[in-house]
Amino acid sequence: MNPTTPTIRRRHRLAAAASTILLLAAAACSAGAASDDTEDAAASDEPVRGGELVYLDAEIPISALIQEQGTWQDRALFWNLTDRLVYRNAETGEFEPWIAESWEVSDDGLRYDFVIRDGVTYSDGTPVDAQSVARNLTRQVYGDEAKGLAKNYAFPDAAEITADPATRTVTVVLTQPWAPLLGALTGWAAGLLADSVLELTREEQSDYTNLVGSGPFTVESVEYGKAYVLTRRDGYAWAPQSSPNQGEAHLDTVTITPVQEDSVRLGTLRSGQAHLLRYVQPSEERALADDGYTVVARSGVGLANQWPLRQNAWPGDDPDVRKALQLAVDREQIIEDLYTENWSAATSVVSPGTLGYTDLSAEIGYDPQRAATLLDEAGFSERDADGYRVRDGRRLSLKTYVDVFDNTAKALFQHIQAQFKDLGVELVIDETDYSSYGQTVNADPEVNFTRTGWPHPDPAHGLWNVFSSARADSLKLEGADPQLDALLDAGLHAPSTDAEAAALAETQRYLLENALTIPILNDTQVYVGAPDVHGFTLSDGGLPEYQRAWLDAG
């Protein structure tokens, strides 16, 4: 599933017919690919230097304006072109030093001292020193209004940022604790940029060929919509400690090619014209794995996919109904019917591995009997001619729109629609086009929920941004639940990571015990690599890490 903006798959219905032809045609190619794989396995332990990897994505990268977050495709580029102060180990979930070789946080959570690693340079040769880091952080916190540049929304609104070149230290002093700060520093939007970028206009900064970072790759060329070619950065020697490759990238180049049509993307991979792709239908995932392709998947840290129930739309204000809906979703059945073993059922509002994650599967687990009892007790014991529950002549009916950012959303929504129907609840699923989705679902007062939940560099910030009445207010409570707002604020302004984790645990429990939201699945990114791709890993947020990957020689 795609966590952010533009990844709509509207053509897959059209392509469905065409893919039948492809499957027949591809059988011959794939037989060859599968048989090669066994030979490769032996030779794949030792990384091979060289090679030009071709990666296919469904969408076009849009803008290099890093602190404005970008789309998924942009983030995948930011991740490989820039480095960040702090790294979150995707396996352990722990913070690791990166460009900041060490840091200290004061007990009150108001002062952060980062010691900047020596010897790191941007690809234009300028040093990544304390002053440069301070300039970057200032821009993350304040944006650049004169240039029309937004700030990074995961950072606090104010901070005093100073650099001491003698001790290579950057000091950040806050007016109020901001627990997400370290997490925000690991995020794709916190990549460090050379001064030459910061001086450019908004439009110039949007251009990838102007992006100068200290990452393991640099931009060689961009042909809008066609090819984004990254070249290995010579002399790169500052990968995070846990990276198996502490030096330069193995690959000579990585070419990112957007291929919108699902079946063309698949055919291009299967015919050996590309090495890697993202965004396959789960049904294709299985077929590719059977043919010797490597499926690399990760549920990124952050929020789980979920349906926050709006309380300004009937019957979202009825706690018994909300609880019944939460218990009526058979997540395991959904995965069995629609997905693969790479996907997992949500067990909380955040995904496993995320700071403060608490397994609340017992609270939300599938329990149709209890759901039915709750609805009976709430007065929805009568059924109408269509088999739906009614109370005072009003059908128990909910409305939503299909999430336009996810290629599996429609089937997923329809599956839950069927599960709700078993309980006697109607789910009306509407559709709107990509560009008007956000404003349509926001403006429609009858909508009961829209899908949210994506990888996020910090769960406290992610939950606060989605649920707080001061932010997106996805429950449309408008401050009517001060306890929830207080819990969200406690996580956000916790003075330490432990305090943040404790607040997060409490927030998860509150959201789910009161059935304010229905967790569905853990957001999963799925990449498929050809048999000659090795060492390819995903970041904590499911972004590609090309520095570690290599291709078989020849």
Q: How far is the CB of 367 from other proteins (least distance, A)?
A: 28
Beta carbons of 496 and 178 less than 8 angstroms apart: no
Q: How far is the CB of 52 from other proteins (least distance, A)?
A: 11
Q: Is 497 in the site for other proteins (CB under 8 A)?
A: no
Beta carbons of 293 and 529 less than 8 angstroms apart: yes
Binding other proteins (rule: CB under 8 A), the pick from 85, 259, 324, 350 is: 259
Q: Is 3 in the site for other proteins (CB under 8 A)?
A: yes
Among the residue ranges 236-244, 367-375, 412-420, 437-445, the one whose residues contact other proteins (CB under 8 A): 437-445
Question: Binders of other proteins among 330-389, rule CB under 8 A?
Answer: none
Instruction: Give me the DSSP letters along 240-278.
Output: -TT-S--SS-S-SEEEEEE---HHHHHHHHHTTS-SEEE
Q: Is 241 in the site for other proteins (CB under 8 A)?
A: no
Q: Is 314 in the site for other proteins (CB under 8 A)?
A: no
Q: Which residues pair with 56 in a beta bridge?
A: 257, 277
Binding other proteins (rule: CB under 8 A), the pick from 9, 451, 476, 534 is: 451
Among the residue ranges 17-25, 333-341, 344-352, 525-533, the one whose residues contact other proteins (CB under 8 A): 17-25
First to last CA, the chain: 34
- How far from chain centre, in Å, is Cα 161? 29
Q: Which residues pair with 218 in a beta bridge?
A: 231
Q: Is 18 in the site for other proteins (CB under 8 A)?
A: yes
Beta carbons of 516 and 307 less than 8 angstroms apart: no
Among the residue ranges 53-61, 173-181, 390-398, 501-509, the one whose residues contact other proteins (CB under 8 A): 53-61
SS3 55: strand
Q: Is 175 in the site for other proteins (CB under 8 A)?
A: no
Question: Binders of other proteins among 203-232, rule CB under 8 A?
Answer: 203-207, 223-227
Q: Is 17 in the site for other proteins (CB under 8 A)?
A: yes
Q: How far is the CB of 267 from other proteins (least distance, A)?
A: 5
Question: Binders of other proteins among 527-546, rule CB under 8 A?
Answer: none
Q: Is 253 in the site for other proteins (CB under 8 A)?
A: no
- How far from chain centre, in Å, is Cα 192? 20
Beta carbons of 219 and 87 less than 8 angstroms apart: no
- Spatial neighbors of 11 by CB under 8 A, at least 6 apart, are 260, 261, 262
- Spatial neighbors of 481 by CB under 8 A, at least 6 apart, are 469, 475
Q: Is 6 in the site for other proteins (CB under 8 A)?
A: yes
The one-letter code for the residue type at 132 is S
Q: Is 260 in the site for other proteins (CB under 8 A)?
A: yes
Q: How far is the CB of 322 from other proteins (least distance, A)?
A: 18
| Tokens standing for residue 337 | 């019917």
Question: Binders of other proteins among 59-98, rule CB under 8 A?
Answer: 60, 62-63, 65, 69
Cis before residue 315, ω within 30 degrees of 0? Answer: yes
Binding other proteins (rule: CB under 8 A), the pick from 397, 440, 496, 514 is: 440
SS3 529: strand
- Residue number, 60 or 499, with CB nearest to other proteins: 60
SS3 548: helix
Among the residue ranges 54-62, 108-116, 239-247, 500-508, the one whose residues contact other proteins (CB under 8 A): 54-62
The one-letter code for the residue type at 307 is W
Question: Binders of other proteins among 189-208, rule CB under 8 A?
Answer: 202-207
Binding other proteins (rule: CB under 8 A), the pick from 21, 43, 418, 553 is: 21
Q: Is 442 in the site for other proteins (CB under 8 A)?
A: yes
Q: How far is the CB of 160 from other proteins (least distance, A)?
A: 20
Question: Binders of other proteins among 147-166, rule CB under 8 A?
Answer: 148-151, 153, 157
- Residue number, 71 or 132, with CB nearest to other proteins: 71
Beta carbons of 52 and 255 less than 8 angstroms apart: yes
Q: Is 56 in the site for other proteins (CB under 8 A)?
A: yes
The Cβ of residue 448 has, within 10 Å, a number of other Cβ atoms equal to 24
> Which whole-number Å values give the CA distances from 233 to 121, 133, 219, 220, 221, in the listed order?
11, 20, 9, 10, 14
- Residue number, 124 or 157, with CB nearest to other proteins: 157
- Residue number, 17 or 166, with CB nearest to other proteins: 17
> Which whole-number Å values give the CA distances from 264 to 274, 277, 531, in the listed order?
11, 11, 19
